[in-house]
Structure 1
Amino acid sequence: MIDRVLPATALVLGLVAVPWGAGPAMAECDPEAGVVTLPADEPWAQRRLDIKSAWQLSTGAGVRIAVIDSGLDTKHPQLRGFSTFIDITGTGYTDCVGHGTAVTGIIAGRAYPGVSFHGVAPQATVIELKQSNQSEGHVANLATAIDKAVQLKADVINVSIKAADNPVLRAAVHNALASDCVVVAAAGNITEKNKDVPAYPGSYEGVLAVGSATPDGRRADSSSTATPVGVLGPGVGITAPWPRGAYRLDLEGSSFAAAYVSGTAVLVRARFQHLDQEQVRRRIIATADGSVGQGTGAGMVNPVLAVSAVLPFEPAGRPVVAAPPPAPIPADAIAKLPQEDVVTRDLALAVFAGALILAAVIGGLGLVLPLGRSRGWRVDPPA
C-alpha cells in the first residue's frame, strides 16, 4: 500500500513546497513485471464474494467512483474507456508503480473474454486521479485529489493510501462526506519499518476503513489493528491487472481490500439511489459476514447481501429484492353461490308429486271408464 507517515513539521512544509510528484522521470518508469496469462480458475476473492450473483441486482451503472492513486495503464484490455483522468503530479498518465492499475482493476475492471479476472462494479464510471508517481505520496496532493473528486461529483472515493493526520486532509474528507461522497480508505499495513499506528483518512469519523482478510475470512497478520476498521476485504494472494497489459497474482495489503469494498459501495449506490453516504456505509457494515476478532470490524464484506438485504432501519424507497407480490383477489371477483331457497324447493316438489298423482288418476280412469260402459255399469253378482 502507498504509505506516508510524516512528522507534523514536514507536513506543514510539504503544503507550501514545490508541486508534489517529483520522482522518477518518465524514462525511468519501470513497474515490476506481471504475468500475461491468468490461471483458468477464478481468483479466490471473486469466488468468496460471489460478485456475479450481486450483478443480478447491480453492476454499478451510473455511479461515479474516484480512484486516488498512482495512475493507470489505460491501454490494459480490462481498463479501457475510463475517459476522466486527472494528473496532479504533472508526470503523465503512466502508472510507474502498478498500484493504481491494480486498485482500479479490482473496483471496475471490465469482463474480458477468456479472462478469469473481473472487477466488482464493471459498469461504474471511473475518475482516475494520479496523486503519486512513486511508491509514496504526499498528504497535500491527497487532499487536493479528494477536493477534485468532489468537484467532479464522485459518488464514491477510494483512498488506498495511509497518511498521517493533517488539518488539510481532515478538511478535505469532511467536505467530501458533507457532499454525500462515500469515502472508503485502507486501514493500513503493519511492516517492520511501519509500526501499527492509525491510518488516515481511514481513522476519520464517517470514513469506511477497510482491513485485509485471508481466504478463510480472518484478519491478515499485516492488517492494522490501530485503525477503527469497519469491514474486511480480500487482501492476501490477490489477483489484479498490472501495467503493460499484465496481471499480478500475489498482491497483499489493505489497499486491495479497500478496493473490493469501494466496488461494493458502487453497487449499493447504483441499487439504492435514495440512500445517502452514511446510510450506504451503514448498509455495508450491517450486511458483512460478522466480526472475527480485533481489527476485523463487522467482518468480511458481502456484496450480495449489501445489494439485496432488507434492513428495517433504512428509509422506504426502491424495492429491495423484487417487486412486491400482487394484491390479493378482490372479494367480489368471484360470484358467490346464492343461498338455497328451501320454500321454493319444497313447493316445487309438492307440485311435481301432485302432477304424478293426477297423471296416475287420469291413466286409471282411462282404463276403467271404457270397461264400465261396456258392462252398462252393472256389477257382477258374487260367485
Structure 2
Amino acid sequence: MSYGWRVLLLCWALPLLADSAPVFTNFSHSLALQPYHQDYLIAAANQPVRVSTRLLVRVNQAFVADIPIPDITGPARILYQSPTLDYRLLQLRDGADLFAAMDAVRRQPGVELVQPDLLQLERRGYHSQQAVLSDSRIDVIEQLQQLRDRLWQGSRGQGIRIALIDDGVDFRSEALGHPDTLFQYDVGSQQADASPRSGRDRHGTALALLWFARQPALQPGDLAGLVPEAGLIAIRQPDTWTSHTLLAFQLAALAGADVINCSWTSSLLLEPVADVVRDLALHGRGGKGTAIVFAAGNDGQEIEPGQSEAALADALVVGATDSRGHLLAHSNRGGSVDFYTLGSELPVSLPGLRHFSGTSLAAGLVTAMTALLLAQQPDLSLSQLQQQLLSLEGIAPGAGSQPFSGGH
C-alpha cells in the first residue's frame, strides 16, 4: 500500500484510534503514534520512531518566546530562523505528559505547527552501498571528464561554499590534504569537530575526496578532486532527529552555503524538513536560492509524493546511471528526480573512493558541477542554475527537471 493510501486510510480510521493513540499533524494529515515495544509506531507509514521530551514549533511574529507554558521549561530555542520561517525547540519538564503539552502549545498565540522531536529508528539512508560493474565503453565517464576540464578553464570552484551534511569527514586523510574548511560542527555532540565517530563513518569522507582530493594523490584519468578551490562547510549529522536536521540546515545557511549536499534520505518526510528546504530554495543565497542536492535513493523504487526528501520539488534530486547512461536497477526514479548521472564505480585510484557508487556518487557529481557553474556565474538564480545543469554533457534530465516555481 502506498504512503498516500496509508495516510488516507489512517484519516478514515482516526476516530477509532483517537482514544488510544496520541496524534500529531504532518502536511495537514493526522498521524497516530501507537506504542511499539519501548517506542512508538507511526501507523500510516509503518515507521517506528523514538519520541523525545522536546517539541518543534513553527511560529510567527505573534509568538512570545518567553511566555510561560504549562509543562515547558525555559524559553523557546531557535532551531531554524530566517526572515520568512521560524522554528523553535521547546523542552518539557521532567515527568510532563508530552501530548498534553503539545495541546497546550498549540493554543499559544503565533503557533502554526507543533510536532514531537522524532528519531526515525534506523540509521539514515546513505545511498552508496551497491557496487556496479562499469561497462568497458565509458561514455558518461568521458563526458564528465571533458566537462570537468572545460569548466576548469573558468574556475575550479573558487569563492563557492559547499556544505556537506553527512556522517563526518576524516581530515587526517593524506589524499584529502587540507581543503579550505570554513566551518565544521558535530550536531549531536555540539562540538566544532566534524570528524567521524566510528569506523563505519566513511560516507562523508568519500564525498569530500570526490571534491577535494589532492591532485598529487590522483592518477591520470581519475575523476576526483573536482572542486579543489571551493570552501567546505562540514556538518556531521548522521541521525534522523528532526531537530538535528533543522539545525544542520541552519548552520549551513549561517555559514553561507551556496550548495548543500545531502546524499541521504529519511524513511519518512516530515513537514519541518520540507519547510526548511523550501525556504532555502526560495530565499537562500541572497534571494537567488540555495541549491540543495539530495540523492534519489538506492531501493530500485518509484518515489511516491511525500515519501522522503527525494520527493521534494524544491531540491535537486539525483538518480544514478551506469557508464553508458542506462538507469541503474537499484536507483530510485520518479517524477521528483531532476537529473541522472554516473552512479557506477568511479575510475579512481584512491582507496576511499574505489568502491563509492550509487545515487550518493551521482548527487556528489551534480554538487561538484553546480559549484563549478556558480563559480563562473555566481548570480544565477536556482531556476537558471537548473537549466544550466540540464545543458551539461554527462547529466541527463529527469522527469522533475521543470523550472522551479516561486519567483527564483
TM-score higher than 0.5 here? yes
Who is 1:85 aligned against?
184
Who is 2:334 aligned against?
226
8 Å Cα contact 1:161-1:186 kept in structure 2: yes
Who is 1:338 aligned against?
none
8 Å Cα contact 2:212-2:228 kept in structure 1: yes
From 357, 381, 384, the counterpart of 1:279: 384
Q: Which runs of 5+ in 2 are unaligned?
A: 1-40, 55-115, 124-128, 130-137, 402-408
Who is 1:48 aligned against?
143
The verdict on how the C-alpha distance between 1:291 and 1:277 changes in structure 2, with shifts beyond 3 A counting, is closer
The verdict on how the C-alpha distance between 1:19 and 1:58 changes in structure 2, with shifts beyond 3 A counting, is same
Correspondence list, 1:1-383, <5 A: 7=42, 13=51, 16=54, 47-50=142-145, 51-82=148-179, 83=181, 84-90=183-189, 93-95=194-196, 96=198, 97-113=201-217, 115-116=219-220, 117=222, 118-132=224-238, 137-163=240-266, 164-177=268-281, 178-179=283-284, 180-190=289-299, 197=304, 200-226=308-334, 228-238=336-346, 246-288=351-393
The verdict on how the C-alpha distance between 1:204 and 1:272 changes in structure 2, with shifts beyond 3 A counting, is same
CA drift of 1:47 comes to: 3.4
RMSD: 3.6
8 Å Cα contact 2:140-2:394 kept in structure 1: no
The verdict on how the C-alpha distance between 1:254 and 1:15 changes in structure 2, with shifts beyond 3 A counting, is farther
Whole-Å separation in 1 of the counterparts to 2:53 and 2:231: 30
Whole-Å separation in 2 of the counterparts to 1:227 and 1:112: 41
The verdict on how the C-alpha distance between 1:153 and 1:78 changes in structure 2, with shifts beyond 3 A counting, is same
8 Å Cα contact 2:341-2:396 kept in structure 1: no
8 Å Cα contact 1:238-1:249 kept in structure 2: yes
CA drift of 1:144 comes to: 2.0
8 Å Cα contact 2:334-2:399 kept in structure 1: no
The verdict on how the C-alpha distance between 1:151 and 1:102 changes in structure 2, with shifts beyond 3 A counting, is same
The verdict on how the C-alpha distance between 1:18 and 1:169 changes in structure 2, with shifts beyond 3 A counting, is closer
The verdict on how the C-alpha distance between 1:240 and 1:13 changes in structure 2, with shifts beyond 3 A counting, is farther
Identity across aligned pairs (percent)? 23
Whole-Å separation in 2 of the counterparts to 1:109 and 1:196: 33
TM-score w.r.t. the length of structure 1 is 0.60
8 Å Cα contact 1:239-1:248 kept in structure 2: no
8 Å Cα contact 1:108-1:263 kept in structure 2: no
Whole-Å separation in 1 of the counterparts to 2:326 and 2:385: 24
CA deviations on 1:205-233 (whole Å, 9 max, x unpaired) are 22111001101111111110135211112
Whole-Å separation in 1 of the counterparts to 2:273 and 2:232: 22
Question: Which stretch shifts more, 178-187 or 110-119?
Answer: 110-119
3-state SS in 2 of match to 1:86: strand
Who is 1:362 aligned against?
none
8 Å Cα contact 1:65-1:157 kept in structure 2: yes
Q: Which runs of 5+ in 1 are unaligned?
A: 1-5, 25-31, 33-42, 299-383
The verdict on how the C-alpha distance between 1:60 and 1:14 changes in structure 2, with shifts beyond 3 A counting, is farther
3-state SS in 1 of match to 2:153: coil
Whole-Å separation in 2 of the counterparts to 1:22 and 1:94: 23
CA deviations on 1:113-157 (whole Å, 9 max, x unpaired) are 55444222111101011001xxx6444422321121011110111
Amino acid at match of 2:316: L
Whole-Å separation in 2 of the counterparts to 1:219 and 1:109: 27
Structure with max Cα Rg: 1
| Number of corresponding residues | 267
